[in-house]
Amino acid sequence: MNALNTLFGEKKVKAKKLVFNSVDEYPEVPLTLGTTLINFTGDWRTFIPVVDEAKCVKCYICWKFCPEPSIYIKGDGYVAIDYDYCKGCGICANECPTKAITMVREEK
Amino acid sequence: MPKKVVSGNYAAAYAAKHARVEVVAAYPITPQTSIIEKIAEFIANGEAEIQYVPVESEHSAMAACIGASAAGARAFTATSAQGLALMHEMLHWASGARLPIVMVDVNRAMAPPWSVWDDQTDSLAQRDTGWMQFYAENNQEVYDGVLMAFKVAEHRKVNLPVMVIESAFILSHTYDIVDMPPQEEIDGFLPPREPLYTLTDFDNPTAVGALATPADYYEFRYKIAMAMEEAKKVIREVGKEFGERFGRDYSQMIELYKADDADFIFMGMGSLMGTVKEAVDVLRKEGYKVGAAKVRWFRPFPREELYELAKNVEGIAVLDRNFSFGQEGILFNEAKGVLYNTDAKPIMKNYIVGLGGRDLTVSDIRAIARNMKEIIERGRLDREVEWYHLKR
Amino acid sequence: MIEVRFHGRGGQGAVTAANILAEAAFLEGKYVQAFPFFGVERRGAPVTAFTRIDEKPIRIKTQIYEPDIVVVLDPSLLETVDVTAGLKEGGIVIVNTEKSRDEVLAKLKKKPAKLALVDATGIALEILGLPITNTSILGAFAKATGIVKIESVETAIKETFSGELGEKNAKAAREAFEKTVVHEL
């Protein structure tokens, strides 16, 4: 089973920065001008969320609340965090009803 | 070809139906209301398959049209004066997102004081929104204008919205003969829309109206500017094709009337030009060598045609049924600007006429002609801007 | 070009009368234009409406100041409105009234060349059951002016009102056409 969160997987690997060097290269319409997939916001963090699968009940409240979003659902049904994007805001840990996510200081 | 005696508003409604519009979102306002009432009647009678979206304001009407058009539909609305002003923010949205929406604006004076009568200031105040503007002289031009507007707006090199503008009451509520071609001939002229993009392409999801930083915004503005320039060619082509198919040629963005050998001409827009043509005939009999130039498209502005015209006349009397406070009549202002960097330097005088529906008669135009003749003979202006009807 | 001015009260159908007359002339191959006075209409208030008829396309977009023909749908308007204002020399006045020629003439500021009188209210009440006189007065118009045929008026009425309503209104116009008395002055 593939990850439910479509922001990840193949697309992340293929994502490229759009650069327009001349007016002719621009699209006619200001549609999506690029992708945030290339913007690895993970290095903004001080604290990092860690999931304890022993406590996780697969309610996916963290998945719904993650504003980035950088939480995805794995094939086994447990949640995981894409640390390339997680800014360490801690909302997931705050919302988790079983305290399965804890925020720990990241060593840099 | 079938002819009907209809009001300007009904001509607009029939044109929307014959253009096979798919979505109409509108809010009632005098004197526009009978356009959308007639469209609602077509839907109720099963004569047209249109998704009608009743909304709570004109701002929402345009927002709904933008959504429909971004989803790929052919969208139409109509409004007047205060309603148009309330749409202002959304008008920029429609052109910025390059959506070929067509709207009929029934020119009505802005309040206060309250007025429901004809005045071009409402539409001209929207001149910088990126909408094209077509001014109709009569009900036939309202009908033809809506059909051509869709074809120009949806052209692959244009993709910009069009306002088709008619006069309050003088056209909107006046019954006149309108020639409406058979539906299959209209379908031949105006095939279904082929959108530049559509938000309902779920395999290739995209967002419209993305953020553009100072590094990118500028180029998108240039794209619109170029599309407007391109639109002039498209307008002339579409106008020519319309003439070949239906016998009424619109290939000129400025329609000339007896201007070839004229010493001076009257220039203006919309319904008042019908009366001006009548007056030109009277004046010609009285020995005046006069003609008329009706500016059909105000945006994009027909700079080249105006130059060609101005080269060959001694004077231009610009009749503005509008005013830009702190400056002058808006058409006058634009026309002078076009000619500044050219060798065409006719004497130009601005007559402010007909504001708020004040009637402009043949005898008024004769009086203006006498004044223009004196100015040309003397070789200098008495004053640049004249409030012609003012009670003194 | 022939210019016609209708005087009525809001709700009597003066605007519709102007439109139906335009339609009738259009059916006879004429160029037409019909419009209301661009005012603020309310039921019962005096209203005016206009029709232009010509052999060539009508470009003029002004109001009508010097009508060839004036049509008065409501007799009480003679007391309060100068219905003959601007009436051309040789003009025609058509009035819905039960009054005599001399009584009506006494109320007109300007003497027309022709005065046509008909009790359009009586005809409307009898045939339609309502005091809406716009269709019957057009029968009088056809009789007094000859500008449009009564048959064209009947067709135009039936195109405007469908079914039984159209039939009744066309009948009212025909009845008025028969009963209108035209005085050459």
CATH of the domain at A89: 3.30.70.20
**Residue among B296, B292, B273 at smallest CA distance from B284:** B292
Domains identified in chain C, total number? 1
Position A74 scores a pLDDT of 87
Position C97 scores a pLDDT of 97
C45 pLDDT above the threshold of 90: no
**Nearest CB to B175: which of C34, C38, C63?**
C34
- How large is the greatest C-alpha to C-alpha distance in chain A, in angstroms? 55
Q: Do A26 and B219 touch (CB under 8 A)?
A: yes
Confirm or reject contact between C93 and chain B (CB < 8 A). Answer: no
Q: Is the peptide bond before B181 cis (omega within 30 degrees of 0)?
A: no
- Any residues with CB less than 8 A from the CB of B325 and at least 6 apart, and which? none
B vs C: CB pairs below 8 A: 61
- How many Å lie between the alpha carbon of C133 and the closest alpha carbon of chain B? 21
Residue B205's pLDDT band, with cuts at 50, 70 and 90, is confident
**What one-character-per-residue DSSP string does C102-121 give?**
HHHHHH-SS--SEEEEE-HH
* Distance, CA of B108 to chain centre: 13
Position A2 scores a pLDDT of 43
Confirm or reject contact between C153 and chain B (CB < 8 A). Answer: no
B71 pLDDT above the threshold of 90: yes
| pLDDT (tens digit per residue) in A54-107 | 999 999 999 999 998 899 888 899 999 999 899 999 999 999 999 999 999 998
Q: Do B97 and A30 touch (CB under 8 A)?
A: yes
- How many Å lie between the alpha carbon of A84 and the closest alpha carbon of chain B? 23
What DSSP element (H or E) covers A67?
none
Q: Do A30 and B220 touch (CB under 8 A)?
A: yes
The answer for B11, left when phi > 0, alpha when psi is -120 to 50, beta otherwise, is alpha
Q: Would A98 be classed as within a structural domain?
A: yes
Range of C54's domain? 2-184
Position A1 scores a pLDDT of 35
- Any residues with CB less than 8 A from the CB of A6 and at least 6 apart, and which? none
SS (H, E, C) chain C: CEEEEEEEECCCCHHHHHHHHHHHHHHCCCEEEEEECCCCCCCCCEEEEEEEEECCCCCCCCCCCCCCEEEECCCCHHHHCCCCCCCCCCCEEEEECCCCHHHHHHHCCCCCCEEEEECHHHHHHHHCCCCCCHHHHHHHHHHHHCCCCHHHHHHHHHHHCCHHHHHHHHHHHHHHHHHCEEEEC
Task: Average the pLDDT over each of A20-29, B225-234, B260-269, C92-101 and give the range with the smallest value.
Answer: A20-29
Q: How many whole angstroms separate alpha carbon B330 and alpha carbon B322?
A: 7
Closest alpha carbon within chain C to B168 = C38
- DSSP secondary structure code for residue A31 in this structure: B
The answer for A103, left when phi > 0, alpha when psi is -120 to 50, beta otherwise, is beta
Q: How many whole angstroms separate alpha carbon B301 and alpha carbon B338?
A: 9
- Report the CATH number of the B3-246 domain: 3.40.50.970
C71 pLDDT above the threshold of 90: yes
- How many Å lie between the alpha carbon of B360 and the closest alpha carbon of chain C? 7
Position B321 scores a pLDDT of 98
A neighbour chains, 3+ CB pairs within 8 Å = B
Residues in chain C: 185
Interface of A with B in 28-57 (CB under 8 A): 28-33
Contacting residues of A for B207, CB less than 8 Å apart:
31-32
A5 pLDDT above the threshold of 50: no
Q: What are phi and psi of A45, to 5 degrees?
A: -70, 150
**What one-character-per-residue DSSP string does B168-215 give?**
TTTTTT-EEEEE---HHHHHHHSPPP--S--TT-TTS---BS----TT
Q: Would A91 be classed as within a structural domain?
A: yes
Residue A12's pLDDT band, with cuts at 50, 70 and 90, is confident
Position A108 scores a pLDDT of 76
Residue B152's pLDDT band, with cuts at 50, 70 and 90, is very high
Q: Do C33 and B176 touch (CB under 8 A)?
A: yes
Domains identified in chain A, total number? 1
Interface of B with C in 117-146 (CB under 8 A): 117, 138
Contacting residues of A for B227, CB less than 8 Å apart:
28
The structural domains of chain B, with segments of one domain joined by +, span 3-246, 254-387
C neighbour chains, 3+ CB pairs within 8 Å = B
CATH of the domain at C112: 3.40.920.10
Residues in chain B: 392
Contacting residues of B for C33, CB less than 8 Å apart:
174-176
Q: How many whole angstroms separate alpha carbon B137 and alpha carbon B135?
A: 7
C43 pLDDT above the threshold of 80: no
For an interface test with B, the pick among C30, C38, C56 (most B C-beta atoms closer than 10 Å) comes out as: C38
3-state secondary structure of C48: strand
Cβ atoms < 10 Å from Cβ of C178: 12
| pLDDT (tens digit per residue) in B255-296 | 999 999 999 999 999 999 999 999 999 999 999 999 999 999
Strand-pair category, C69-72 with C92-96: parallel
Q: How many whole angstroms separate alpha carbon B58 and alpha carbon B36?
A: 13
Range of A75's domain? 10-105
- Report the CATH number of the B254-387 domain: 3.40.50.920
Confirm or reject contact between C62 and chain B (CB < 8 A). Answer: yes
Q: How many whole angstroms separate alpha carbon C70 and alpha carbon C91?
A: 8
A26 pLDDT above the threshold of 60: yes
Closest alpha carbon within chain B to A31 = B208
Residue range A33-41: average pLDDT? 81
Domains B3-246 and B254-387 share a fold: yes
Confirm or reject contact between B206 and chain A (CB < 8 A). Answer: yes
Contacting residues of C for B176, CB less than 8 Å apart:
32-33, 58
Q: Would A2 be classed as within a structural domain?
A: no
Q: How many helices (H) and strands (E) does chain A have?
A: 3, 4
Q: Can chain C be said to touch chain B, i.e. do they have 3 or more Cβ pairs within 8 angstroms?
A: yes
Q: Can chain A be said to touch chain B, i.e. do they have 3 or more Cβ pairs within 8 angstroms?
A: yes
Q: Would A4 be classed as within a structural domain?
A: no
Q: Do B175 and C22 touch (CB under 8 A)?
A: yes
Question: Does the predicted model carry a pTM greater than 0.90?
Answer: yes
Structure tokens at B185: 């001939």
